[in-house]
Chains A and B, each alone.
Chain A
Amino acid sequence: MFVPLKYNLRNLAVRRTATLLTAFGIAVSVAVFVAVMALVEGMKRTFVETGDPLNIIALRRGAISETGSIIDVSAPALIRNLPGVATMSAERMVYVNTARREDNSSANVVIRGVSDTGRTMRPEVRLVSGRWYQPGLSELTVSRSIASRFRDCGLGEELRTGSATWKVVGIYDAGHTAYSSEMWTEPESIAATFERRAWSDIFIRASSAGQVPSIIAMIEAEPRLDLNAQRELAYFHEQTKAAAPVQILGNIVAIIMAAGSAFAAMNTMYAAVGSRTREIAVLRALGFSGHAVALSFMSEAVLLSVAGGIAGGLCTLPLNGLATGTANWFTFAEMNFEFAITPLLLAEGVAFAIAMGLVGGVLPALRASRLSAAAAMRAL
């Protein structure tokens, strides 16, 4: 026979102050946990959603990112004729020191020099206003988030990099992909402005999925190239590791905060047991077993923490979709992303709260179950 749950609900309502304070404490811990993980989720999503299974990226051997790769000008000719290569785009990337609109702090924003072919190889990148850059004119077409977050990068504005001036002639949208943190122009404009003739990466599309491994093998085996090739998906997947430091920090913070909240929940539950000695005695006298009493107190602790967990999760909802940016661990360049609060993350938050409730509730519940009815009655 179980003690009805209504008994616990009413008790929580009667001890409003303690219930609210404890639930709030749990809510704060859950909110911090969900917020940090939403940031991690947003960063990861950017990379996971970038790439096509037919695409291959070739970088200089040992380079971990496109911006840190220097490829000889002779390389594209060697790759174009490999069997199985459908189209190919050699690209130049530089990053330029650009000021954020919000606080004037600066970040490295990537300018990718990409030909028309390279653009058609990435259908996820769509023009939303203005037009695409023209060759030879120092024009930029800028991603939506860079345009809104960086100074002089909006449509019609002019961005100065050293002695060169770029005109922003269009805005593109690249969804949640890595390209949404870039500005695009013609490869020759980069060569002319930055005196950089070397390529940064060679972007290849295989004619069929079956050709992908053989193209990769041929590129790596070619001694004149000294390149590393990998699938575009794998390249960006590797960069999800950029979120690792935040994830580790988030986990440490969450665990420590949870320990604090669990102690608080334990306090509240001990007080609940202490002030209800008589009620427990009555319950036992009515025939409820020690187990039933323990279970009842455990459910009370869990109810309390679930309330806190839900409240904490709800508090973080306004963060969802909030655009922000940080430096990518791999490229040193600005990486834009949005906080992503998923249903799974909210569920994890509530599960996390339940864990706090269980840890906080178990000792007090055991204590309640061990009170002997006779002694408890005598305590009156």
Chain B
Amino acid sequence: MSNNAGFPAYTLSNVGFVRLILKNALRNRRRTALTILSVAVSLFLLVSLRTLVLEMRGDTLMTKQSSQRLITRSAVSLQIPLPIAYKEKLARIPGVLRVSEYQWIPSWYREPNVPLVIIACDPKFMGTDPQYAIPPAELEAFRADRTGIIVPEKMMKKYDWKIGQRITLKSSVFPFDVEGTIRGRFTGPSQNALFCWFDYFNEMVRRTIPDRADKSMAFVEMTRSADVTPQVARAIDEMFANSIAPTRSESEHNFVQGFSAMLGNVTLFISAIAAAVVFAIVLVTTNTMSMTVRERRQEIAVLKTIGYRPHHVVALIAGESLAISIAGGILGIGGARLFFRVFDIYDLTNTVIQQFNVTSETVSFAALLALAMGIVSSLIPAIGAARSPIANTLREI
């Protein structure tokens, strides 16, 4: 029953020790449950904030082909359009496979406060990214109809559109509305833009604001391979450096990231909030563990008397704190993942946020953080408990 140090061996076998930790955790069920809940809601928040930051950076909107796509626009601002004569010149630059105009038409449908964007492009460019799949028959129909429109699947569902339906999208910048027939739909990561023919857009511009005709906000180029993309970008910008409209070319990823950069310190601000959340969790768990230790002072003294070493006491308390963190983590992190799977953020935010993927990387990041916080929170109470002199504590009884 006892080893030569007069120590009950079974309590130190690993299984026995873990059982002791769990039994301890369950002694004050209400407190443990409240602490787990507190840790869980905080971790839920942490996972959501991190996902928000990642989504804002636009990482999840990228496809494999994104690294082969460049966006060329005026070096001055997106508001200064480029002459469409640039299209031919861009197509001749070595490494460029195909070029399309890229023109935003800010608009809305039925709800003026829900902005949509139509992208006017070269119909031959559509359907070239396998991750934005369009049924072949629909793609063909779009390429055959000058007033055809291709819509994101999610938007199609939201507005209850049908293939072949004629719709009018109200324009919020240009002095014309875009009227066209829905010819197809696409799936894929980005679901906030509709597509129409650039030629159709240009005709309407020519009719209403002739000054602005034959110009495109930007161009998209598809390069031969991801390796040549940076040098193609440089070649383009050098070519137009001394022209009337100098250009700025960048990868699709940088183009999207540029928009979140415009938000300025918002990401920093969100990260600061996340740090505050982490700090709050540590406070809560520390508080629980120190209350627990205080209430168990006498039994800890007894444990020491029967041969527990200080590091056993530390392990006992750290283990309990860790068990609480793990339970809170499973509840909070798992809950966040489940929540954003079940509820579509696209509908919840009225298309403002396109998607909210809690990535495995975020899950493991939060899980590691939860474990670290479990240990950190137990340190002060555990060390205090390990150090407290047996004789003084026992005398209090």
Q: State the A residues within 8 Å of B (CB).
A: 17-18, 21-22, 24-25, 28-29, 31-32, 35-36, 39, 60-64, 67-70, 72, 94-97, 100, 105-108, 161-164, 194-198, 226, 245-246, 249, 253, 256-257, 259-261, 263-264, 266-268, 270-271, 274-275, 324-327, 332, 334
Contacts and interface: CB of A to CB of B under 8 A. Distances in A.
Interface in B295-325: 295
15 contacts: A17-B287, A64-B172, A70-B174, A70-B175, A94-B76, A97-B76, A162-B76, A253-B49, A256-B45, A260-B42, A263-B41, A266-B34, A267-B284, A275-B295, A325-B264
Instruction: Please give me the 4 A-B residue pairs with the lowest Cβ-Cβ distance, nearest first.
Output: A21-B287, A263-B38, A105-B261, A327-B262
B207 to A, nearest CB: 13
B369 interface: no
A94 B283 contact: no
A163 B175 CA distance: 29
B211 A95 contact: no
Nearest to B115: A64
A39 B263 CA distance: 13
Interface string B274-291: 001101110110111011
A94 B79 contact: yes
A22 B279 contact: no
Nearest to B248: A97
Interface residues of B, number: 60
Contacts of B229: none
B283 A106 contact: no
Contact of A267 (B34, B79, B295, B352): B34
B42 A95 contact: no
Contacts, number: 177
Interface stretch (B18-26, B88-96, B265-273, B358-366): B265-273
B288 A106 contact: no
Contacts of A94: 76-77, 79-80
A327 B78 CA distance: 14
Contacts of B259: 327
Interface of B: 30-31, 34-35, 37-39, 41-42, 44-45, 49, 52, 74-80, 106, 170-175, 209, 211-212, 242-246, 248, 258-259, 261-266, 269, 273, 276-277, 279-281, 283-284, 286-288, 290-291, 295, 352
B247 to A, nearest CB: 9
A304 to B, nearest CB: 12
B31 A270 contact: yes
A31 B173 CA distance: 40
Contacts of A21: 283-284, 286-287, 290
A62 B31 CA distance: 57
Contacts of A256: 41-42, 44-45
B262 A162 contact: no
Nearest to A68: B173
Nearest to B286: A21
A259 to B, nearest CB: 5
Contacts of A100: 264
Contacts of A196: 80
B262 A163 contact: no
B340 to A, nearest CB: 13
A22 B79 contact: no
A239 B78 CA distance: 22
Given A105-B264, A253-B49, 14 more contacts: A25-B283, A28-B280, A253-B45, A257-B45, A260-B38, A260-B42, A260-B45, A263-B34, A263-B41, A264-B35, A264-B288, A267-B288, A271-B291, A327-B264
A194 B212 CA distance: 12
Given A68-B106, A261-B280, A63 B172 contact: yes
A163 B286 CA distance: 61
Contacts of B211: 197-198
B263 to A, nearest CB: 5
Contact of B264 (A62, A162, A270, A326): A326
B352 to A, nearest CB: 7
Contact of A107 (B45, B175, B264): B264
A324 B265 contact: yes
B267 to A, nearest CB: 10
Contacts of B246: 162-163
A198 B172 contact: no
Nearest to A25: B283
A117 B277 CA distance: 52
Contacts of B261: 105-107
A356 B171 CA distance: 47
Contact of A17 (B44, B175, B290): B290
A149 to B, nearest CB: 9
Contact of B276 (A28, A63, A161, A270): A28
Contacts of B295: 271, 274-275
Contacts of B74: 162
B61 to A, nearest CB: 18
A25 B285 CA distance: 10
Contact of A24 (B49, B277, B283): B283
B283 A97 contact: no
Contacts of A270: 30-31, 34
Given A18-B287, A70-B174, A260-B42, A36 B273 contact: yes
B76 A28 contact: no
